[in-house]
Structure 1
Amino acid sequence: MCAKQVKPREGEPPTTGHEWDGIREFDNPMPRWWLWTFYACIVWGIGYTIAYPAWPLLTEATRGVIGHDTRADVEGELAEWDAKNAAIKEQLIATDLTAIGEDPQLVSFAENAGAAVFRTNCAQCHGAGAAGVQSLGYANLLDDDWLWGGDMEAIYLTVSHGIRNTTDPEARYSEMPKFGADGLLDKGQVGDVVEYVLQLSGQQHEAGRARAGAVVYADNCMACHGENGEGDREQGAPKLTDAVWLYGGSREDITHSVNFARFGVMPNWNTRLSEDELRAVSWYVHGLGGGE
């Protein structure tokens, strides 16, 4: 119901002049304590915006008359902790990668520091739990199937230089031909070799086509993936005989890989992380369960 104008009854406090379903709103003054508190908050807010950084400008916020800088506070705390950890960071850098596990204190530091580095820089692709994302080609770091090797030195090299990037001349590099898209194999040959790869990995396959695919495989794939599909870590060629697949192991996924190839890129972290961070995150990844 719409509000209607009413006059206050005799002896009652003044009203706002409105009534809703018989309910009138009195026009009583606010309590003085509430008003003074409200005014004090306004004064405090004005004083705060003058004293501290507050108003955003084009490139930065107003500095405030007292010159307080929360960024400087954070940077100061980081510098303080860096100074406290300087000795053990130097020890981590000086220690051979394979010898880190011999020092419990160094192990504790590397695990905690590496976990922090991983969560900040690696989890976006490999996942918070490091299980990767198969559909996008982000490797699972929990298993023992490694394209470029899973020992400490190999993981460190991969993290440091990355894979197939254009910014580090020492990046791990391999490139599979686009057998179907570039016409290196016709549709029938692609189908045959896919059936043979399915056979290698113990999946259901068409036996007749797989026999024909073995010839196609020997002529086009064996140089990288090995005679029996065992892979080659020197070339980053994946093993084809197990159930671990970077981009999926179904007939459709393998067909897509043969036709169009895969070309995942990982950045080199040696320009973004310090040496102690590279070593710490390499130790952390190695200890997730799949390191050799």
Structure 2
Amino acid sequence: MKANTSQQKDLIAGIYHRIAGEYDERIPGFTALDATFSDTEISFVLDRVTADDEVLDIGCGTGRITIPVAHRAKAVTGFDLTEAMLEQAARKAAEANLDVRFEQGDMAALPFPDDSFDAVVSMLALMHVPPADHPRVFSEVRRVLRPGGRLIIGVKNSVFERFSSADRFATVDITDVENKELVFTGTREGDELRAPWHSFSPDDLKRLTAVAGLVPVSLRGNIPLSAWLADSVLETAEVAGAVRTLETLLGDLPPLNHLGYHLLMEAVKPAVHS
């Protein structure tokens, strides 16, 4: 029997409680392609965050994105479903002498006042949100954003999955495309853990932002060329460098951006006009 929304959230929280202490060993992976993926992702975020911004990172996990953003922004809040992941993030923030606020909760019911943040960031985490909650999450993001504020997200691309089930990032965590699950293999406990996982197409993102009242301004495909190439091809530094240069130049342009392994999107809350 298929789990309901509440059961799915409990399952996800339980899994991340169990792997919180090893999460940073699993992400961002170990290959040159993993590094390219992460560099593109973090650059996309940091290019859209300023020193005057108050930023909310939803589904922040152990602070993989929160910590770099905190080095740049005026103030940062990390928000996650799982307390154990937040404890890891808080430890890293303290070690870096960063003043970051962390709160636990459900991103479908954000515990923040209207117009609280200049930017809301979410990398990878939206894919664990049950589909029934997607419209509510985007609506909540719009609510807590100030006019002119930005939503900056990264999600797995379902268009890529129509052609390939290959894992191109952090392959110790395997995307089971057919069953819509993320499989955590080789855990310290020795168990294989399965969490619900929902990818998005460019059209999905356009629809969700439009319904919430947000305006998409940028869509980038993450590794839109190298995701389709064999690892053996990318082992040559000259080839990998040329592919990376092309991806940097063309990653924002359709149709190439629609073919990325993941999608990176920025959407804006319209300014209020008197």
TM tier, smaller: under 0.3
**How does the TM-score come out when normalised to structure 2?**
0.24
> Hey, which of these two has a bigger chunk of strand by percent?
2
> Hey, which of these two has a bigger chunk of helix by percent?
1
Larger Rg: 1
**How does the TM-score come out when normalised to structure 1?**
0.22
